[in-house]
Amino acid sequence: MVPNPENQSLPIEDELHFRRKQEQLEELKSKIQVVTSNLAMPLYMAFWICDLVFAPEHKWLFLSYRIFTVLACLGIHFSAPRARTLRSAQILAVLFTFVCSLFITIMTLQTGGPVSPYYAGLNLACIAMLLFFPLSFRFSLLASVGIFGLFFVGATYLAWFAGGWSIFLVSLFFISSTLIISLVIRRYQDNLRLSELKNRLALEKEVLGRDQVIKVKTQEAINLASLSMQFSPQVVRAIRTGEKKLEGGTQRAQICVIFIDIVGSTERVTRIDKDDVNKVISMFMDDTIRTLLKYDITIDKFLGDGVLAFSNNPIAHPDYIERVLRAALEIRVNITEHKDEYLDYWKRPLDIRIGVSHGYANVGFYGSEKYFRTYTAIGPGINMANRLCSSATPNQIVVSRDVVRQVSQDLFDFELLGEKQLKGFENDVIKVYQLVRERGATATGIVECPHCAKVMSIEAASNGIFNFFCRDCNYTLANDLKKVA
């Protein structure tokens, strides 16, 4: 039987009681129909042959009894499907038992009472009805009275007025034995059915629990797949591992912000074919995003042909500022290495400009819980990176004074550009620098995981070796350090 969803929240004992009654009802209705059509009617008519042998003088009278019983069986047969409660179905079963036993009793008394061969039919009816029908104990007693009550009264009358008490007592013994055996077996069957139902109900609940777990995990996988199209991979991983929750608040954090933009894109978009524009933007995003992912820099948003990203959240690194600076230099190298391909579609050299700033920001999920949420950072450093990018000349990387202060002077070369007044910071005099190069060696190029084809994150270098780590499958690869001038 399929679990009833309306009863999944019921206590186990109440649900067991409900299911037991439902199964008893369906079983009893089915058995009443089977007995009344396939068993009782054929047997009653077939046993008329016995009437011709044992009671030929009553053959036509007994035939009428049998025909009446068959008609009663038909009525009960067609009434059974309309039974809506277990009580009504048990009443039909007891009525059927009484009708069948009534005429057997009449034929028994008319042919000698306890010494009649028809007496065996009562014991057969008792065993068949009490064992076949799943009746409650109370209705089993009613059925027993229906089977043997009239016979007991008639047999007592015959023994009182015609003698034969010994035969009566023997018959009474067999009646009692038949009833006791039938009721004991009935009780044993009920216990087995109850035990089987308990085990089945427990199994159904276990399966339902597993299905629920599968459903939850499947939905989580679907949500993560959807999130992967909305959030930076670092954020998706943080959600998957439980470090971040969509309903969680924001946090105050120090971040390093990078803003990358294509120079003169507005003018070029109006002058070249849209397919060429799409190709250039796609190449630019590929050269940019893959490098940002390599250094564990979180992609905040795309602004037309620009990319805004920040480091140190949700994945924190002690060298988070250095990572942004290395990413900026590498992105510029990527664009240079692909200059011929860009020239084919852009119809002139593709120039970019980059702004980098540092500071505190509120980082987390912003937006409407009902419609749309995004993982972003809000703070003055975001606007600063945008303004520094706007002030940069083609292919220049402009950084704030805070960035220069936070990194070791032995790692990068900076040139002072002077003091500038930036939009949104009119009351401040901003000292800005350009990032020239990284000193020493660095690891350029993108390494993809051989197992899941994701961009591998770069780890700290030591002894001339860079470690690349896949955050999806935990695969680690050591690459020889590539020297860069």
For residue 415, the domain's CATH number is: 3.30.70.1230
360 & 433 share domain: yes
Return the amino acid letter for 223. N
Confidence at residue 441, expressed as pLDDT on a 0 to 100 scale: 63
196 & 307 share domain: no
What is the Cα–Cα distance from 3 to 393, expressed in whole angstroms? 70
Question: Which tokens in the block code for residue 210?
Answer: 């597993």
CB crowding 61-100: b at 16 or more within 10 Å, else e: ebeebbeebbebbeebbebbeebeebebbbebbbbbbbbb
Confidence at residue 483, expressed as pLDDT on a 0 to 100 scale: 35
Give the number of domains in the chain: 3
Report yes or no on 237 lying in a domain. no
Report yes or no on 234 lying in a domain. no
pLDDT digits (tens, 9 = 90+) for 49-102: 877 888 888 888 888 888 888 888 888 888 888 888 888 888 888 888 888 788
Supply the DSSP string of 358-419, one letter for each residue.
EEEEEEEEEE-SSS-EEEEEESHHHHHHHHHHHHPPTT-EEEEHHHHHHS-TTTEEEEEEEE
337 & 287 share domain: yes
Report yes or no on 224 lying in a domain. no
Confidence at residue 244, expressed as pLDDT on a 0 to 100 scale: 65
407 & 453 share domain: no
Question: Which tokens in the block code for residue 404?
Answer: 């220069």
pLDDT digits (tens, 9 = 90+) for 15-30: 666 777 777 788 788 8
Confidence at residue 415, expressed as pLDDT on a 0 to 100 scale: 94
Beta strands at 251-262 and 306-311: parallel, antiparallel or unpaired: antiparallel
What is the Cα–Cα distance from 26 to 1, expressed in whole angstroms? 11
Judge contact between 31 and 135, C-beta under 8 A.
no
307 & 252 share domain: yes
Which parts of the chain register pLDDT below 50? 1-9, 227-230, 480-485
Q: Which domain holds residue 109?
A: 5-207
Question: Which tokens in the block code for residue 167?
Answer: 């035969």
184 & 283 share domain: no
Confidence at residue 195, expressed as pLDDT on a 0 to 100 scale: 75
Q: Which of 207, 235, 269 is the last residue of a domain?
A: 207
Secondary structure letter of residue 455 according to DSSP: B
Confidence at residue 5, expressed as pLDDT on a 0 to 100 scale: 45
Report yes or no on 400 lying in a domain. yes
What is the Cα–Cα distance from 73 to 124, expressed in whole angstroms? 17
Judge contact between 411 and 430, C-beta under 8 A.
no
Confidence at residue 454, expressed as pLDDT on a 0 to 100 scale: 78
Query: pTM of this prediction?
Result: 0.55
What is the Cα–Cα distance from 327 to 312, expressed in whole angstroms? 14
114 & 261 share domain: no
Confidence at residue 390, expressed as pLDDT on a 0 to 100 scale: 92
